[in-house]
Structure 1
Amino acid sequence: MTNPSTLPEPNILIAEAIPPREPADLIVAEPVEKPAPTDVLVAEIVNEWSNLPPAQSWPAKVWRTICFSLSWLFGLVSLIGCLAAMSVVPLLQFATLGYLLEAGGRVTRSGKLRDGFIDLPRFARIGSLVAGTWILLLPIRFLAGLTRDAETIPGNPAVGAWRLGLTVCTVLMVGHILLAWYCGGKLRHFFWPLLAPFQLGQRLLNSGLAAPIMKHILKPWWPSLFNDLFVPLPWTSWFPPAIVWSGLRRGRMYVEARDAVWDFIIGLHLPHYFWLGLRGFIGALLWLVLPTALLAVGTSQNNGGAFLIGYVGAFLLAFVLMYLPFLQAHFAAENRFAAMFAWSEVRRRFRHAPLMFWVSLLATLAFAVPLYLLKIEPPPRPLMWTISLFFIVFIYPARLLTGWTLGYARRRQKPGWFILRQLSRLATIPIVLLFVLIVFLTQYTSWNGVAGLFEQHAFMVPVPFLGR
């Protein structure tokens, strides 16, 4: 089993707004065995995006920062989409839960929220592959629709021309998509014909008649901007035909592509996330199964004994809810299954940050409440993954906040004020009791009825349809 301490640290501050010089990496992100530090300024990381000289002028720094921010946001959106898509696939659901646990565990160990955004450049590459391919397939779909319309007209002489145009368009687009995949699958590889005029214009500006004029006018007035503007990018960093030609000259196109794809897939650490998620699911189930079962029995029978059993289950569930979010963060940070049941450790850490524990518990339960509204009516199966998007968006921040709180408490040496600890404990009681009441009522609104009580998506698999 892989220990998370041996995994690469999350390298969330590296974006690829400016392409690297080496064309050989097909879709490989930064090497996982050489993670960049995550405790340096964004401006310093921006300068490491490529082999180009660091930006010297403020317009270039602003531009690279904007590119970095957009790339980071694109990676985050791609990450949420990938987790939502995996959450609807059997077995991969545990990998989704494992990623969320790993994110909270890393934040617990380091105390930095940014460490919870793991492998964003890799997910950004997946997002660019999906988005670029989908956009380039739109013309084929459009022509296919026109061809079908032409075929509905009996004796239409233009049917042959439409079919020929559809065939030519399909061949060209598929070839263009495969070319972009080989070059790395970045968005600039899919839309390089649109970028070519700008890149060629820059080269003409660097080597044409405008170069001496700019050198004598711009360089004396603003030398740093001149140095940033007149740095031509290599052809193999953005021009797919040049990348393919470079691969042909090396004679290792297939081997390099195969190794790059394999390294990229291995770098996602799916087995580790699956194993972590499976154990996290089992641990949460062991905590929740008895209180939830007692609550379900109390609601399914109409006698006094069952009513009493339901009350016992409700209070047991409230007790579990006070500890389970932090137990899962502790388990992910330690990567030991026994840590899932170290509730005394959580109690001890609570004394060092009582107010933050209360805020984290409130956020975790509050973010889980709106998700029960999505379980009132089951959507069509093809749209199930769209609902999972909301589950990831609500649960992910709660995991990060819980991990940050536990990490903050682990680093504090002195306990909090006695009065603050007691007030935080008292304030926790109405929160968990209200959440238990909401969970109790969901059996009358969820499409799974009483079985929906066991779908604790805030602590187990983040999907609203575990029983479907």
Structure 2
Amino acid sequence: MPREEAVVQARLVSSQPDRGAARSWPRRSFTAVAGATVGLFRFGSLSVLLALLAAIPALQWITFGYMLEVSGRLSRGEKLRDSFPWSDVATRIGFALAAIFLVSLPVHLLTHWSQVARLIDPESNASLPLRWLGGFAVGAAGIYLSWAWMRGGRLRDYLWPAPIRFLKTYWRPSTWLAARDDLWSLLVSLEVPRLFWLGVRGAVGTLVWIIVPAILLIVANREGKGGSAGVLGALAFVAMGIVLMYVPLLQSRFAEKNRLTEMFNVAAVRRSYRRAPWAHTFAALLLFGLAIPLYLLKIETLPREATWLPCLMFVALMLPARTVLGLATRRSNHRPEPQGWWAGIQRWMARGLMPAIVGIYMLFVFLSQYLDVHGLQTWFHQHAILVPVPFTGT
């Protein structure tokens, strides 16, 4: 009898809902939403930072080198969260810009009220207190922002100013010296020269591949409607398509090995493709497909001060594509080459899609030469495999 009662009690206990698990659902939902929000903010901040660099001709290679670095890290097997070297810095820059915007609102408001008071009664001193308050707001904002940046510029540093610590340490020279050292360490950790050099070498290797077919396409279009020009243009078009099928894989391998000679190691990328054909084909679909909207932006000439906006779209589209390309290379590096007739059929099916993907992309490049202000130079402005040329008329 006692044994039966124990069994009944065990069944009753097991049938009761897990209140701890039920309570964890709101917490899990909040954690998921918070994580997604932080991730989107981090990606947006990183995209804006890279877009600003891409809008400056001399610094475009840093953006290109960064994308190659992401692809290379993923190809070497690093985790996804460790493959974006500037993500934390970009997030803090985003927080800093948002904080500057928010603390500047009272300053602008007080300045506006002061100007309105002076316009209503120029001889009155009613605007003087408002100007004093505006000056005080500027000083308070500077102290608030500098104190948050000294402590790391994280979100909690803006939300909680740590007043006791502020009164104890803000005025000490050692605090400012430590902030200077931290700033220098941060700048060094960005490895800007290395990324710049990586981007320059990647661009040089890419140009070596595309320069001959691009020149032939330009010559064929300028020669007119002759038969020889048509044959030359068709051959150059096919050659450019073949080059574009290999260059993204070569760029990924170059970033992985960090050797310029890998930009010409066709045999290695062919072996890599055979180990993961569908992954590489999907990466090519994203890379070339997401580059097409960038050519649509070149229909209308933009003023120079708005150059960074299409560059932002370039980064927002190409960075995920480069990420997928790195993941595809990593997948092929960790897989043996499939054997058997079914693997061969899948490989040829994936290969059969590559000419269609590249062909559609090249069709938009071909049409853009009649819409782009740069004309035939668009054959060198390969947004899928190079940095964005400034979207301006100059």
TM-score normalized with structure 1 length: 0.72
- Mark the CA change 1:419 to 1:451 in structure 2 (over 3 Å): closer, same or farther: same
2:364 to 438, 446, 461: 438
1:384 to 282, 300, 307: 307
1:418-462 Cα distance to aligned partner (Å, 9 max, x none): 112222222222222222221111011112222222111221113
CA–CA separation in structure 2 for the residues paired with 1:382 and 1:191? 33
- Mark the CA change 1:306 to 1:382 in structure 2 (over 3 Å): closer, same or farther: same
CA–CA separation in structure 2 for the residues paired with 1:246 and 1:164? 27
Higher helix share: 2
CA–CA separation in structure 1 for the residues paired with 2:354 and 2:322? 18
1:325 aligns with 2:240: no
Q: CA RMSD in A?
A: 2.4
CA–CA separation in structure 2 for the residues paired with 1:454 and 1:436? 12
Instruction: For residue 180 of structure 1, report the CA deviation from its aligned partner.
Output: 2.5
Instruction: For residue 87 of structure 1, report the CA deviation from its aligned partner.
Output: 0.9
Do 1:352 and 1:415's aligned partners in 2 also have CA atoms closer than 8 Å?
A: yes
- Paired amino acid for 1:162: L
The residue that corresponds to 1:307 in the other structure is 230
- Paired amino acid for 1:278: V
1:389-439 Cα distance to aligned partner (Å, 9 max, x none): 111111011111111111211221133611122222222222222222211
Partner SS state of residue 179, structure 1: helix
The residue that corresponds to 2:320 in the other structure is 397
Which runs of 4 or more aligned residues in structure 1 lie more than 6 Å from their structure 2 counterparts after TM superposition?
Answer: 59-62
Deviates further, 123-132 or 145-154: 145-154
The residue that corresponds to 2:207 in the other structure is 285
Deviates further, 323-332 or 90-99: 90-99
1:106-156 Cα distance to aligned partner (Å, 9 max, x none): 111107544433342222112112221122112212322333334444635
Instruction: For residue 285 of structure 1, report the CA deviation from its aligned partner.
Output: 1.2
- Paired amino acid for 1:184: G
Identity within the alignment, %? 35
CA–CA separation in structure 1 for the residues paired with 2:354 and 2:257? 26
- Paired amino acid for 2:336: Q
1:155 aligns with 2:122: yes
CA–CA separation in structure 2 for the residues paired with 1:240 and 1:328? 51
The residue that corresponds to 2:157 in the other structure is 189
The residue that corresponds to 2:16 in the other structure is none
Which consecutive residues of structure 2, in runs of 5 or more, have no partner in the other structure?
1-22
Instruction: For residue 385 of structure 1, report the CA deviation from its aligned partner.
Output: 1.1
Q: How does 1:79-118 map to 2 (within 5 A)?
A: 79-110=46-77, 112-118=79-85
- Paired amino acid for 2:197: W
- Mark the CA change 1:244 to 1:324 in structure 2 (over 3 Å): closer, same or farther: farther
Do 1:87 and 1:96's aligned partners in 2 also have CA atoms closer than 8 Å?
A: yes
Do 1:281 and 1:460's aligned partners in 2 also have CA atoms closer than 8 Å?
A: yes
Count, aligned residues = 366
CA–CA separation in structure 1 for the residues paired with 2:113 and 2:201? 52
Instruction: For residue 372 of structure 1, report the CA deviation from its aligned partner.
Output: 0.8
CA–CA separation in structure 2 for the residues paired with 1:121 and 1:67? 16
Do 1:128 and 1:187's aligned partners in 2 also have CA atoms closer than 8 Å?
A: yes
The residue that corresponds to 1:73 in the other structure is 40
Which consecutive residues of structure 1, in runs of 5 or more, have no partner in the other structure?
1-56, 193-237
Instruction: For residue 82 of structure 1, report the CA deviation from its aligned partner.
Output: 0.8
The residue that corresponds to 1:168 in the other structure is 136
2:377 to 429, 447, 451: 451
Q: How does 1:255-266 map to 2 (within 5 A)?
A: 255-266=177-188
CA–CA separation in structure 1 for the residues paired with 2:130 and 2:29? 48
CA–CA separation in structure 2 for the residues paired with 1:294 and 1:154? 72
Instruction: For residue 62 of structure 1, report the CA deviation from its aligned partner.
Output: 6.8
